[in-house]
């Protein structure tokens, strides 16, 4: 709560809000309350303001969701394509990409479906990745497909990473699916350092990079 003082109607001497403040606070509120309770009223309350005040700085709730994307994706490291071979760079990029989304568990569920439509930061990332791939000798026509395939895997993995940990548990149905249940248990013992989701991500990432190298 930024301000508990009462405020009477009329323009205040100093602005209480700004677009950036609203977006940054939105991320905080969303991560605390979850998507269900992420309302304009809850956001306004956190900012110490009445709900309609928000509309002086943002277009509405959809505008806020779209604007939050840049805060989430700010942690993605695509600079490595300048210095490392494409396959090593891809692994680092993919891990930071997944981690950036997984750090905002509720944001991802809201952003996964909201289209990006030519956001500048995303395009800059595409440019850097494309450069890295081309410098490594990738044929022009396959670069975007390879990059998108990696992105698809990363986004799916981020959704998996924020899913409830018991999501794949057979529970009472275990006797019906013995082979799967055994495989699940065997996988748990494989590497105690990594979660089930982490293991799947690392195996898939290694496989995808190796496979792409072969199809280059």
Partner DNA sequence: ACCTGAACACCGTTCAAGT
Site string for DNA, 134-173 (x = CB under 7 A): ----------------------------------------
79-108 binders of a copy of itself (CB under 8 A): none
Site string for a copy of itself, 144-173 (x = CB under 8 A): xxx-xxxxxxxxxx-xx--xx-xxxxxxxx
Contact between 123 and a copy of itself per CB under 8 A = yes
Q: Pick one of a copy of itself, DNA, none as the site partner of residue 29 (Cβ within 5 to 8 A by kind).
A: none
CA angle 208, 169, 98 (to 5 degrees): 35
Calculate the dihedral angle through the C-alpha atoms of 9, 10, 13, 17, rounding to the nearest 10 degrees: 70
Binding-site size for DNA (CB under 7 A) equals: 26
Nearer to a copy of itself, 18 or 182 (CB): 182
Q: Where are the beta strands (DSSP E) in 62-139?
A: none
Q: How far is the CB of 102 from a copy of itself (least distance, A)?
A: 12
Q: Diameter of the chain by CA atoms?
A: 69
Calculate the dihedral angle through the C-alpha atoms of 66, 71, 75, 76, rounding to the nearest 10 degrees: 20
CA angle 22, 28, 31 (to 5 degrees): 135
Contact between 11 and DNA per CB under 7 A = yes
Distance separating alpha carbons of residues 146 and 149, to the nearest angstrom: 5
Q: How far is the CB of 14 from DNA (least distance, A)?
A: 8
The tally of CA atoms less than 13 A away on the side-chain side of residue 84 is 14
Contact between 8 and DNA per CB under 7 A = yes
Distance separating alpha carbons of residues 127 and 110, to the nearest angstrom: 25
Contact between 24 and DNA per CB under 7 A = no
* Number of helices and strands in the chain (H, E): 9, 0
Stretch that binds a copy of itself, among 46-54, 68-76, 88-96, 190-198 (CB under 8 A): 190-198
Contact between 55 and DNA per CB under 7 A = yes
- Give residues in contact with DNA (CB under 7 A): 7-12, 15-17, 37-42, 49-53, 55-57, 60-62
């Amino acid at each position: 709560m930024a301000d508990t003082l009462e405020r009477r109607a009329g323009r205040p001497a100093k602005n209480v809000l700004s677009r950036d403040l609203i977006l940054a606070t939105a991320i905080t509120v969303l991560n605390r309350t979850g998507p269900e309770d992420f309302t304009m009223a809850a956001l306004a309350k956190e900012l110490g303001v009445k709900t309609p005040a928000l509309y002086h700085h943002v277009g509405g709730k959809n505008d806020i969701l779209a604007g939050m994307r840049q805060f989430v994706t700010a942690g993605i490291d695509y600079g490595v394509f300048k210095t490392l071979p494409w396959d090593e760079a891809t692994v680092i990029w993919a891990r930071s990409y997944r981690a950036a989304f997984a750090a905002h568990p509720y944001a991802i569920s809201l952003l996964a479906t909201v289209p990006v439509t030519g956001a500048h930061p995303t395009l800059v990332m595409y440019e850097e990745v494309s450069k890295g791939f081309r410098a490594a000798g990738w044929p022009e026509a396959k670069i975007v497909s390879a990059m998108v395939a990696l992105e698809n895997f990363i986004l799916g993995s981020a959704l998996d990473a924020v899913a409830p940990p018991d999501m794949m548990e057979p529970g009472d149905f275990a006797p019906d699916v013995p082979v799967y249940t055994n495989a699940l248990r065997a996988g748990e013992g494989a590497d105690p350092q990594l979660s089930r989701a982490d293991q799947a991500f690392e195996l898939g990432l290694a496989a995808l990079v190796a496979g792409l190298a072969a199809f280059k």
